[in-house]
Amino acid sequence: MSADADHMLVRYIIDSQDGSREVFNLDISLPDVTLKQPQGADLPDWTRLDYHKCEHCPLTKKTHPHCPVAALLVDYGQRVGRMVSYAQVDLTVEQGATTTTAKVPAQEALRSVLGLVMATSGCPHMSFFRPLARYHVPLADMELTILRAMSFYLVGQYFGGKDKPDWDTSFDGLIKIYENAQEVNKGMAERLRNAEVFTELNWLAALDTFAGMMPLTIQRSLLKAKAYFLN
Work out the burial of residue 153: count CB atoms within 10 Å of its CB; fewer than 13 is exposed, 13-18 middle, 19 or more buried: buried
| 226 vs 168 pLDDT, higher one | 168
pTM, to two decimals: 0.90
Instruction: Assess contact for 13 and 23: CB atoms under 8 A.
Output: yes
Q: What letter does residue 50 receive in the DSSP assignment?
A: T
Instruction: Assess contact for 218 and 175: CB atoms under 8 A.
Output: yes
Cα 11 to Cα 2, 45, 134: the distances in Å are 10, 28, 14
Instruction: Assess contact for 193 and 204: CB atoms under 8 A.
Output: no
Q: Distance between CA 148 and CA 139 in Å, rounded?
A: 13
Complete DSSP assignment for 153-182: HHHHHHHTT--GGG--TT-HHHHHHHHHHH
- Strands 34-35, 21-29: parallel, antiparallel or unpaired by DSSP? antiparallel
How many residues are given for the chain? 231
- Residue 55's pLDDT is 92
pLDDT in tens, 38-85: 887 789 999 999 999 999 999 999 999 999 999 999 999 999 888 888
- Residue 231's pLDDT is 67
Phi, psi of 218 (to 5 degrees): -55, -55
pLDDT in tens, 201-223: 888 888 888 778 777 787 788 88
Q: What letter does residue 5 receive in the DSSP assignment?
A: S
Instruction: Assess contact for 146 and 221: CB atoms under 8 A.
Output: yes
